[in-house]
Amino acid sequence: MAAPNATRPNIYAHIVGWGMAVPERCMTNDDIAAIVETSDEWIRARTGIHTRYIANERETTALLGLRAAREALEVADILPIEVDLIICATSTPEHIFPSTASIIQDMLGASKAGAFDLSAACSGFVYALQTAAQMIRSGAIQTAIVIGAETMSRILDWQDRSTCILFGDGAGAVVLHGRADAGGLMSAVLRSDGSGRDLLDLPSVGSLDVNRPDLINREHQTYKLYMEGGEVFKFGTRVIGESVRQACDIAGISITDLKLIVPHQANERIIHAAARALKLEPDVFMLNLDKYGNTSAASIPIALCEAAQQERLQQGDYMAMVGFGGGLAWGAVVVQWSGVPEPKRFGTQRRQFIYLTAAGRQRIRTFLRRISETFNRIRPQRGRLQRLRRNIDKIDDE
Ligand code: UT7
């Protein structure tokens, strides 16, 4: 971490890398119609979703987050050992602790980074972005990886057709880097209204442990995700416009200066309603929920990554990201796009080498810990043996 410096110049938090990952298995609306009473027509018309990706047992939240983070480091051309902080926004962490971010930190070989998870449901990525940016601006750190990663399929009630049709699994990540040139994250609005906490909730613990009847939510009689879709729909429609406007005001730009808005990918109808409320053309909004469904905290970084890959943003463009969901919590940020990073300093091979050594180091550490545990277990016995021998020697002397 960089040392605090009272006389340092302004530092700006630039987005310099982006990446995403989805599981192998693609599930169509027809696949879902084979499980619950629904249809491809209904899902397309009411949500805009055509397919989503569903994780297998090996594809955990950390693994998806890791793949997205590696891709983001590749674009940024930054080495894992240069990263100061990893934040993983997720509602489906593998455990309460260790954090999913710590697991990713280890697998990346980001040996100088701090790591923690952030819980703000579907707004988590926006919250995490602002948290990391603020640490960069303060001079406390220089480089952060901000991840949104979810395995929503593990916490869904697959008998509830009003929710299981909506969600998908995946991860997206960005690399934030502190530089003196102006740009990057310009403003942020983070808000919460906890009086709506019962509208969207999940009483379970880790995503690896979601089948515990003792965790049943008494009010809603479920231990999986519960949502009052209609209420959340109205809330989403209202706060997208409101918070994007506020973030633009703070950044000192007009809403029409925005080249692109990347909203949480919950429902196409919500996004179209927000576009009408803001009097903007629908194509100002990045939409890719047709392919991935609602991936909660991962939806914004996945959509941002695809927007960058499709070159929908040029250096200097203003863009906004806006999230909303469980909490109720919502938030928006305005970013001046920093463009594609400078020519490569490090080769892909150097990063691959660090990933390999990270995997090796983890195995060696586990092995050494086991040896040390075994040694500690036999040490008292060795002490007893030595005492016994001393007593025998004493008897011999006498
Ligand atoms: O990421 C967090 C943020 N989440 C969101 O923003 C989600 C917001 N909510 C939504 O996207 C929508 O409310 C839903 C897609 C969940 C539901 O759409 P809706 O237009 O609000 O439908 P509805 O709940 O008002 O239900 C209309 C009808 C009902 O039937 P009746 O009572 O009119 O006979 C439902 O039972 O549609 C029925 N229905 C379905 N029919 C076929 C509900 N789900 C389904 C389904 N297939 N999957």
For 343-375, the pLDDT digits (tens) are 677 778 889 889 889 888 878 888 888 888 887
pLDDT, average across residues 233-239: 94
pLDDT, average across residues 303-317: 96
pLDDT of 239 strictly over 60: yes
Mean of all residue pLDDT scores within the chain? 90
The atom number, within ligand 1, closest to the CA of 165 reads 48
| 10 counts as catalytic | no
The angle subtended at Cα 301 by Cα 347 and Cα 227, nearest 5°, is 150
- For residues 351 and 79, the answer to whether their CB atoms sit within 8 Å is yes
Output the pLDDT for position 86. 98
The atom number, within ligand 1, closest to the CA of 294 reads 1
Q: What kind and span of H or E run contains 376?
A: helix 348-397
Output the pLDDT for position 346. 72
The count of other CB atoms within 10 Å of the CB of residue 253 is 17
pLDDT, average across residues 171-184: 96
Return the SS3 of 269: helix
pTM of the entire structure?
Answer: 0.90
Q: What kind and span of H or E run contains 172?
A: strand 169-179
Q: How buried is 198 (Cβ within 10 angstroms: 0-12 exposed, 13-18 middle, 19+ buried)?
A: middle
- Counting every residue written for the chain, the total comes to 398
Output the pLDDT for position 370. 84
Q: What residue owns the CA closest to ligand 1's atom 3?
A: 325
Q: Is 161 in the pocket of ligand 1 (CB under 6 A)?
A: yes
pLDDT of 15 strictly over 70: yes
Chain centroid to CA 166: how far? 18
Distance CA 300, CA 80 (A): 23
Lowest mean pLDDT among 11-15, 23-27, 353-357: 353-357
Sheet of 318-325: strand order equals 184-192, 329-336, 318-325, 258-263
Higher pLDDT, 313 or 223: 313
pLDDT, average across residues 330-347: 86
- What is the C-alpha radius of gyration for the chain, rounded to an integer number of angstroms? 24
- For residues 17 and 303, the answer to whether their CB atoms sit within 8 Å is no
For 191-219, what is each residue's pLDDT tens digit? 999 999 989 988 776 666 556 555 556 55
pLDDT, average across residues 80-109: 95
Q: Dihedrals φ, ψ of 226, to 5°? A: -125, 135
pLDDT, average across residues 26-54: 97
Ligand 1 centre from 201 Cα, in Å?
A: 17
The count of other CB atoms within 10 Å of the CB of residue 44 is 14
Catalytic residue from among 177, 267, 294, 305: 294
Output the pLDDT for position 212. 59
Q: Is 323 in the pocket of ligand 1 (CB under 6 A)?
A: no
The count of other CB atoms within 10 Å of the CB of residue 369 is 10
CA distances from 181 to 132, 143, 178, 185, 338 (A): 18, 15, 9, 12, 10
Ligand 1 centre from 98 Cα, in Å?
A: 36
Ligand 1 centre from 42 Cα, in Å?
A: 9
Output the pLDDT for position 136. 97
Q: What residue owns the CA closest to ligand 1's atom 47?
A: 38
